[in-house]
Structure 1
Amino acid sequence: MSSSAMDAIVELVELSESMRQAASLLADDDPSDDAAPRRPSTFLNAVALGNVGSGKSAVLNSLIGHPVLPTGENGATRAPIVVDLQRDPGLSTKSIVLQIDSKSQQVSSSALRHSLQDRLSKATGPGRSRTDEIYLKLRTSTAPPLKLIDLPGIDQRVIDDSTINEFAGHNDAILIVVIPAMQAPEVASSRALKLARDIDPEGTRTIGVLSKIDQAASDAKTVACVQAILSNKGPRTAAEIEWVALIGQSVAIASAQSGSVGSENSLETAWRAEAESLKSILTTAPQNKLGRIALVDTIAKQIRKRMKVRLPNLLTGLQGKSQVVKDELARLGESMVQSPEGTRAVALELCREFEDKFLAHVTSGEGSGWKIVASFEGKFPDRIKQLPLDRHFDLNNVKRIVLEADGYQPYLISPEKGLKSLIKGVLEMAKEPSRLCVEEVHRVLLDIVNATANGTPGLGRYPPFKREIITIASNALDTFKSDAKKMVVALVDMERAFVPPQHFIRLVQRRMERQRREEEVKTKSSKKAQDAEQAMMNKVSLLRLCLSKLSRQKTNPISKIKIPKRDLICRLLVLAAK
């Protein structure tokens, strides 16, 4: 790569990092906080789009400077491959360092290529409709510090619109549309170009690459079409973007890696040779659009354009943020915050604001505050109900516990020891639900602390101070959690210890008293029934006696009364019933 192109890329990397930090400040993030999630910048992303066999992987290999990505029929890209490049000038042009987490390992391009081929073949086996991306992080001295994304051919089934949008839909990612030179006459109908137009209607981040120029060298019509496109004289849809011509199968890389040139600068020399070969084929094409060096310069140019588009909005946001800070300083008093006493006063005011919001969450149920009540009134009782009490009060288990507590037969006289052991065992089971309740409330309080800190406007203006408050509050909650666990266990132990014999005696006495009352009620009701039955029997006996006497008398004293005998008997029965 030419030194001017490398200098431009390095400057763009530094500018991209500055813009990322500015965006973090606008979002009230702390750009110096390594633990905070970083907002990824997509200015340095380059996504290759094209059909199967268009030469996408070969173009990206040319950018990398090593034939890392599989090419050809057996190396068709069947899953998104993300190559995160970092430039290390201390390495030789033939060295590649693979980084996995914090470890580094020097590898060869052929080993990486074969490994990728194996992973692609396994990832797209039978029954697999969509594959995850393959991520590589490489350090070389030959590649620009870009993130290259090699997507599967857009005419394959393994890729869909959602996958394309996931990588190419970012507003600042560079789109590299790769079209074989033999298809240059039909460039207006290229599906890859139409897709890029849909994603980037203005064409401000799209680059066209005409690959495999060497395969079209003998076709004069195709060469003429290629030269017209490079001169911006092609179809309107193609004339609105920048175009570069490359030799398809990375001949320059292959010759350099084989050592045919022989020097440490062999790769640089090979790229120049590629450009000279292209000049001999495309005699009327612009010289600054031929070869790998031209591609890097064009990518840097497009990245710079995207940054120029983004900078005005970013600067406007920073100016607005600066005005907010100035207004806040004016409200607090600039002289106040320029002294240690003033700084302490501001810190105390922010702490008070944080405390008020935290208490509002806890007391009113705002935010996640309602989860605290739900833990005590919902989940804790449910855990208590799920305790295996049936197994504990199983008859065999009760016998075992009573025998262990009282020995053989003393429980017939003094059963409180066995009962006490039973209750102690049940209360011991309540310790684990109590601890889980403490853990759950602790997690809710940690969420409330973070939500309160993020919802306190004053703390958002001082990210390091906000982070320190969250740390202090979290540490305090950890201490409270340990104390609370000890306290709930102590409360359970107190309940287990306070089970006096009088408690069981009163239980037995109350049970016996209840049984006595029930028996008295039964006795009273049965006695009333017996008395009523006896009275009825007495009356019936009296009636029978009267009737028998009347029947034995020859002269009936009441025969003179003219009352039918049936009516007389009925009246006697009524009198007997009364």
Structure 2
Amino acid sequence: MENVVELINRVQDVFSTVGGNESLDLPQIITVGAQSSGKSSVLENIVQRDFLPRGSGIVTRRPLVLQLITLRSETDGPDYAEFLHVPQKKFYDFNDVRREIEDDTARIAGHNKGIARKPIHLKIYSKKVLNLTLVDLPGLTKLPIGDQPADIEKQIRQLILDYISKPNSIILAITPANSDLANSDSLKLARMMDPAGKRTIGVVTKLDLMDAGTNALDVLTGRAFPLKLGFVGLVNRSQQDILTNKPMIEALKAEEQFFQRHPAYQSIVNRSGTAYLTKQLNIILVNHIREKLPDLRSKLSSMIGQTQHELAQYGDPAFTGKVHSGSLILKLLTMFSTEFVASIDGTSSQISTKELSGGARIYYIFNNIFGHALDSISPCGNLTNEDIRTAIRNSTGPRCSLFVPELAFDLLVRPQIKLLEAPSLKCVNLAYEELYKICHTCGNKELLRFPKLHARLIEVVSNLLRERLMPTSVYVESLISTQCAYINTNHPDFPGASGAMAELEKKSKGGLKKKQNRTLNQGASGNPNQKHKENGVHTGSIYADSPPKDSFLNYFFGGAPKADRTSKDFQEKNPFGQLSQPNDIEGLDSPFTQHSISSESTIDPTPSSRSHQEDLEVELIRSLITSYFNIVRKSIQDLVPKAIMHFLVNFTRESVQNRLVAALYCEELFGELLQEDSSISAERERCKTMLEVYKRAFSIVNDAM
């Protein structure tokens, strides 16, 4: 546990070699500050070397991962630096270090002052440093300058947020003392990612540049802006010091003297300056690493397991010989067919939680889409009364209709049944399309490594589905044709003519009663003559409420009603059709005759009777068509899904593996089918590399614990 910083540096080096360090949240210190905040000077003061690029505008254009390693004794030699991208080379001249940073930045980020996310890894070995790992990020800016990208502010802000949002990072928020602390961009970002201030340490630079009579004591003591790790005040080297190459040791001595002599800072002199900041950062980082090591080991263990599982899905590339190729082909064929069947049955391990798929989608087609399509068809929606009346008249030819013509019912109901064919065939096509989708979504990574084999598997199953589509559609068409071939009026659920007429009689009597009641209510407030006439109506209503048992059927099937002659004689005596006394007419047993009397009709009774009969015939035919159509619709809604399941779904799922073996298990095809995709090979190698990295990192962490 003594060298935990070096431990994390080793883990970081392991990940950096493969570019996968972002997948693991390593404990490290992230420096955040605006341009000209003194951020570079802080890092150089800590290292006690001039090694960072300087200039106007954005100087730091790539993240710089800076690892500081303490040289233990004089025998280790002079201070030197190493870059990860320049292996086996030591930089003893720190001016060369600066030039290498500039050159590698331009190589990756270009020369237009844009930024790049790929970090530069720099190690500095020195007797003057404590073990630390710091990440220097580009300085926050407001406006693009020169040829900088227009969204440079957004790019830098997002880059900083990506680093400081990681829970294991320590935020080093740098703010110059000669600016408004309340508007500090670095502190705003720190508070955004660390609201409680538990992993943020504040640095106030350029204290010597504050206006006379002012100081930052309230900030440095935590009264103005509380942080758990506190604030540290620094005095940067002036621009003149940098230009004259003032020795770093003299600059640090001048900083120490500033705090000792300043009246406001004498009380916190032991908690100020670069030396104190360096010690604090070392202590904070070491404690933080110790706290996070158990979680780090668990995370690495989990990543090893996940990577091993991923690698297993890419399969073993060491397949040679026809025997091994044949067994591999059989394995993959079985895997594909098993997944296809499992998707239909709903037993697949890859069941989606976002949307319906597979067999559940087919069920939805049967019960929702198909059911709603059938329910939306109106049994007589496309038939007008005139259409029905014309069909009735055409079916009687030159003769007068004495009975409801059955031929008209047959003639009209068949086209209505035919309306069920289109949604039924659409249901077949939807189920076929769903099976086609299932076919295309089958296949894991091990199978996808052989693109030609996967394509042939889909082709074979697609052909099988197309073969089954035609017989399924033909059978569904035959279901509709069968229903049209024989209109079974003896169906137990079909009411027949008598049942339909009884229902119509019930409705007619109910409507007549309501009309008579309205007439009586009107007569109650009229003159005596009106009341006298209403008495006749009332008397007639008694007959209407008590007709002979078969009066309705006799009227409908017996031609002219019994009251025709009496009604005609009465009309000859009383051409205005008004009843003087209710007893003038006897033997009225037809509700329609009573209806004409109660309505005081002056129309000739014979045409009137014929018109009523035609209207009733139309209503009767419409009622019969609706009843029979509903019976057929119910049957079709039950039979079509069964037919699709039998002829298409079940047949395919039961024969898919045999079809695949018959079509693809051929030695002549093994070489072609088992050609591996180059991208899969690359992914396998990447996966192997990452697995080795995770294992090495786990070993490092585990040994330290």
Normalising by the residue count of structure 2, what TM-score does the alignment of the two structures yield?
0.39
